[in-house]
Structure 1
Amino acid sequence: MTVDDRFTEEARQQRIAQAQLGTFNEIVTGPVSDWTTDFSHLEPEYAENAIEVWDDLRGRCPVARTERFGGAWLPTRYEDVAAIAYDTEHFTSRAIIVSNVRPPMDVAPVGLAPPISSDPPFHHDARKLLLPAFTKANVAKQAVTTEAFCHSLIDTFAGRDVVDAATDYGMYIPMRVIADMLGFPQEDSEKFAHFVENALEGANGPLEERQARGMALSDYLFEQVRDHLDNPREDLTTYLLNAELYGQRLTPQHVVGTMTLLLIAGIDTTWSAIGSSLWHLAKNPQDRERLVADRSLRPKAVEEFLRAYAPVTMARLVKEDVELGGVQMKKEDWVLLPFPSANRDPERFERADEVVIDREVNRHAAFGLGIHRCVGSHLARMELTVALDVWLDRIPEFSLADPDAVRWSAGQIRGPRALPMRIG
């Protein structure tokens, strides 16, 4: 079989059909009646007040339950989140975005977006394929171009008193980096934004709408694959097309699934981290002034922003009935893993509810725990560090133009989606 033979129209249709299989539950939306028994991470009140929700639950009901999504759990303590993340015997990663659809069991151990959707033993080998692209050395090579791009974004602010730090700045940085890595056209950034929003914030939308959006993403990725087959170059897409696992080239489902993971997760998480960090500094001028005056504090501040405003909540499905945190979880229940809540557990961190920009010991879980710890953590740190360095050096004075206009994303990735900033 040649490389080209794998990526036929039939393969594209198979990928789409696989993504549309599963068990469907009724969509339940609307205000939450009680966070202990009816939580929903997709409602506006969660987007705006997630930190307060976690703190409240951690004190009186550390493992919350909801009947929405066909039944789901929300642990809030570090101990419980870590226990689930490390337990691959009772919890499967075949679906990592909670919605009203559960993929069929037979997609395991590969899943629809390997390696994040993969279970052992396949996960280890799929993850190993990606490691060379995300080493510190390879990431360092991208720092120079990332810095230049950040400067070019700020150049566009000339003459403006108010800019949106989320949509004028933070959003474009990971888009540029991931597009470069995958060899995608930079001018497709608007498409990337729609793909991200559809996949994560629209997780509980009508089935037909979600399927149409999924087909649009799949069509785009197959288009990029065909372009790379016709015009091979040195990038991550060509690497995946040529990679072998168990003596064979990767299947189309594996290649496109991994591209989906890199495009979606690689953009939204870092975009959110950059925005949250700038939001904090706009609200806390004493921290902003310290970081402007003393660059040596910035590495610790980056880690503290990652701890305090960790953007990512992953999910698992219960593989086998298990008791955890005083509750009995049943097979096929959803379980959310809110790493940002774990990072604010006072049993794990001193002054957990405070942002301490010179915190000395900071073993946070912003990049996850267990076998699925983020393979791109070096890349995310670089992007966040460069984005903050350039902003603070170029715009040492800034504040929220309208605190009430700040809008946070709903779903499993949390960060500012509207962040109007007054500069100068």
Structure 2
Amino acid sequence: MAVDERFTQDYRDGQGEEPEGVRSEVVTGPVSDWASDFSHLEPEWAADPYPIQDDLRQRCPIAHTDRFGGGWLPTRHEDVTAIAYDTERFSSRAIVMSNYRPPLDLAPVGGVPPISSDPPFHRDARRLLLPAFTKSAVAKREAATRAYCHELIDALEGRRDVDAAREYAQHIPVRVIADMLGFPPEDGPRFRTFIEHSLEGVNLPPDERMAHMSELFDYLLEQIRDHLDHPRDDLTTYLIDAELYGQKLQPQHVSGTMALLLIAGIDTTWSAIGASLWHLAKTPADRERLVAEPELLPTAMEEFLRAYAPVTMARLVKQDMHWRGADMKADDWVLLSFPAANRDPAHFDRPDEVVIDREVNRHVAFGLGIHRCVGSHLARMELRVALEVWLERIPEFTLADPAAVTWAAGQVRGPRTLPLRIGRA
């Protein structure tokens, strides 16, 4: 097949070039007061954000910061919900809070559609992805996912000390997403580098961030060209061939959606698996009960998602306004903390306790409104299978060193290192 003329080197327009809207100020450093100077990039937030969120919810439910060029942090379930559903006053054209705001002309598509898209374009861009993420489509991937989980545990055979984040949790979504997109599975280490740069490198100088984004989109162009030459039955070929409004997708739409699936589809699930194993390692009663009652796992899994929701999403204020006591300015950031909403005592009974048989659990770990995670069925399958296989193969495990557990900073929180001791303590 001839190379599609859409996918020439300018496919990165609006992605990898030096953008307008860059603000080069440093955004990290000690926080003076979380109500007026918050930063979700600080070590204490990464280690344990929940006491900070609880304190803010009581004394200042919508915190403010001058960092990142100005931003807001609602901590009540009702405020997070209201903003998530309000597409008239809050834009999704950027969803990672940083020192860069994409130019307005990127709307309504955004850089990584459909999560960065505003209505009405969002609805149609999202519909393109739905067939790949239905329950029936996801079910076809379960056997391969389960077999791969067993492979990973086979590699741990005979060892007492393992890092469950680096040697187990992170590899599962890497393999699943690589298979969906038709990418070489051996490129997994590159995927992890892309994720780190995209989600944890928001305080880097703008030219470094742009260089990292160029690396990501150069890689995606390589994959697109390979698929043009060798079409196959995967999501990349589907996006290349897909049509919207009677035309093939724009190159930025194809590459942006691929970037979204590669980054968001891996880090969120990796974090959820790791956080669940962390909880079970430090809570022997829950671990022993799930080993004895494996049928309880789907319910317990929802509770892990509630209590350790990995994702916080950003919005941009569309115009100056007074919103529930906050004087918001156009292009101020708003961090939608789904983890904070999931621990609001006004919405959940015993919110800070992990109740693995919690029957009523309308958590918002997968978001709210039009941008609710399109891959929730896939994430649930990966999490369930990962935990089923681990508990079946390794029923006894504890934290080898609680102080050695490290957590990702930024908008996706999960264990980056998780040293476990296999067997009886």
Q: TM-score range by the shorter chain?
A: over 0.9
- Aligned residue in 1 for 2:302: 303
Distance 1:11 1:140 in 2: 34
**Equivalent in the alignment of 2:122:** 123
Q: Deviations over 1:315-337 (max 9, x none)?
A: 00000223333212111100000
Distance change >3 Å, CA 14–CA 35, structure 1 → 2? closer
CA displacement at 1:148 relative to structure 2? 0.3
Aligned residues: 422
| Residue 186 of structure 1 pairs with residue 182 of structure 2 | no
Which residue of 2 is the match for residue 9 of structure 1? 9
| 3-state SS, counterpart of residue 141 of structure 2 | helix
Supply the distance in 1 between the matched residues of 2:50 and 2:126 (Cα, whole angstroms).
31
Which residue is equivalent to 2:404?
405
* 1:157 positional shift: 0.5
Q: Conserved in 2, the CA contact under 8 Å of 1:368 and 1:374?
A: yes
CA positional deviation for 1:105: 0.8
**Distance in 2 between the 1:332 and 1:236 partners?**
34
Mapped partners of 2:326, 2:314: distance in 1: 17
SS at match of 1:42: coil
Structure 1 residue 346 displacement after superposition: 0.4
Q: CA deviation at 1:278?
A: 0.4
Query: 1:407, CA displacement in angstroms?
Result: 0.3
Identity within the alignment, %: 69
CA distance in 2, matches of 1:288, 1:205: 40
Deviation at 1:25, TM superposition (A): 4.4
Question: Following the alignment from structure 1 to structure 2, what is the Cα–Cα distance between the partners of residues 68 and 115?
Answer: 27
- What does residue 136 of structure 2 align with? 137
**1:14, distance to aligned residue in structure 2 (A):** 6.0
Are the equivalent residues in 1 in contact too, given 2:14–2:111 (CA < 8 A)?
A: no
SS of structure 2 residue aligned to 1:258: helix
User: Is 2:419 the counterpart of 1:420?
Assistant: yes
SS of the residue corresponding to residue 361 of structure 1 reads coil
In the alignment, the residues of structure 1 paired with residue 24 and residue 86 of structure 2 have an alpha-carbon distance, to the nearest angstrom, of: 26
Q: Post-superposition shift, 1:128? A: 0.4
Structure 1 residue 12: Cα displacement? 3.9
Aligned ranges 1:157-176 → 2 under 5 Å: 157-176=156-175
**What displacement does 1:197 show?**
0.5
Say whether 1:377 aligns with 2:410: no
- Which residue of structure 1 lines up, in the alignment, with residue 391 of structure 2? 392
Are residue 337 (structure 1) and residue 336 (structure 2) matched? yes
Q: Distance between the aligned counterparts of 2:85 and 2:95, measured in 1?
A: 15
CA distance in 2, matches of 1:13, 1:327: 35
After superposition, the C-alpha distances for 1:328-350 in whole angstroms (9 at most, x for unaligned) are 21111000000011000000011
> What TM-score, normalized by structure 2, do the two folds share?
0.98
Q: Distance in 1 between matches of 2:337 and 2:169?
A: 23
CA contact (8 A) 1:90 1:321 kept: no
| Distance (whole Å) between structure 2 residues aligned to residue 78 and residue 135 of structure 1 | 28
Map of 2:87 onto structure 1: 88
The aligned residue for residue 224 of structure 1 is 223
Partner secondary structure for residue 98 of structure 1: coil
| Residues 177 and 361 (structure 1), Cα distance of their counterparts in 2 relative to 1, 3 Å cut | same
Secondary structure in 1 matching 2:48: helix
Q: d(CA) in 1 for partners of 2:202 and 2:123?
A: 27
CA contact (8 A) 1:23 1:104 kept: no
Counterpart code for 2:7? F
Q: In 2, are the aligned partners of 1:311 and 1:366 still within 8 Å (CA)? A: yes
Residue 266 of structure 1 corresponds to 265
How far off its partner does 1:16 sit?
Answer: 2.2
Please give the alpha-carbon distance, in whole angstroms, between the structure 2 residues aligned to 1:4 and 1:121.
28
In the aligned structure 1, how far is the partner of 2:88 from the partner of 2:157?
55
Q: How far is the alpha carbon of 1:15 from its aligned partner?
A: 4.3
Structure 1 residue matching 2:327: 3-state secondary structure: strand
Whole-Å separation in 1 of the counterparts to 2:15 and 2:408? 28
2:15–2:214 CA contact under 8 A, matched in 1? no
Take 2:85 and 2:24, find their aligned partners in 1: how far apart are those partners?
A: 28
Q: For residues 20 and 220 of structure 1, what CA distance do their matches in structure 2 show?
A: 20
CA displacement 1:139-171 (0-9 Å, x = unmatched): 000000000000000000011111001000000
**2:3 touches 2:225 (CA, 8 Å); kept in 1?**
no
Which letter does structure 1 place at the counterpart of 2:73?
A: L
- Deviation readout 1:358-396 (Å, 9 max, x if unpaired): 000111000000000000000000000000000000000
One-letter code aligned to 2:26: I
1-structure distance, mates of 2:208, 2:347: 41
- Please tell me the residue identity of whatever aligns with 1:4: D
* Residue 49 (structure 2) aligns with: 50
Contact kept, 8 Å, 2:95 with 2:314, in 1: the verdict is yes
Larger CA deviation: 308-317 vs 43-52: 43-52
Structure 1: distance between partners of 2:277 and 2:96: 27
CA contact (8 A) 2:15 2:213 kept: no
In angstroms, what is the RMSD of aligned CA positions? 1.1
The question of 1:209 aligning with 2:208 is answered yes
TM-score by length of 1: 0.98
Q: SS in structure 2 opposite 1:5?
A: coil
After superposition, the C-alpha distances for 1:299-321 in whole angstroms (9 at most, x for unaligned) are: 10010000000000000000022
Q: Distance in 1 between matches of 2:72 and 2:114?
A: 23
Within 1, Cα distance between the matches of 2:64 and 2:78? Answer: 17
Distance verdict in 2 for CA 1:3–1:21, change over 3 Å: farther
The alpha-carbon distance between structure 1 residues 40 and 14, as it changes in their structure 2 partners (threshold 3 A), is closer
| C-alpha distance in structure 1 between counterparts of 2:9 and 2:31, whole Å | 44
Whether the 8 Å contact between 2:14 and 2:106 is mirrored in structure 1 is no
d(CA) in 1 for partners of 2:86 and 2:350? Answer: 29
Q: How is 1:234-383 mapped onto 2 (pairs within 5 angstroms)?
A: 234-383=233-382
Name the structure 2 match of 1:33: 32
Q: Paired residue for 1:199?
A: 198
Question: 1:23, CA displacement in angstroms?
Answer: 3.6
Gaps of 5+ in 1: none
Instruction: Judge which range, 5-14 or 57-66, deviates more.
Output: 5-14
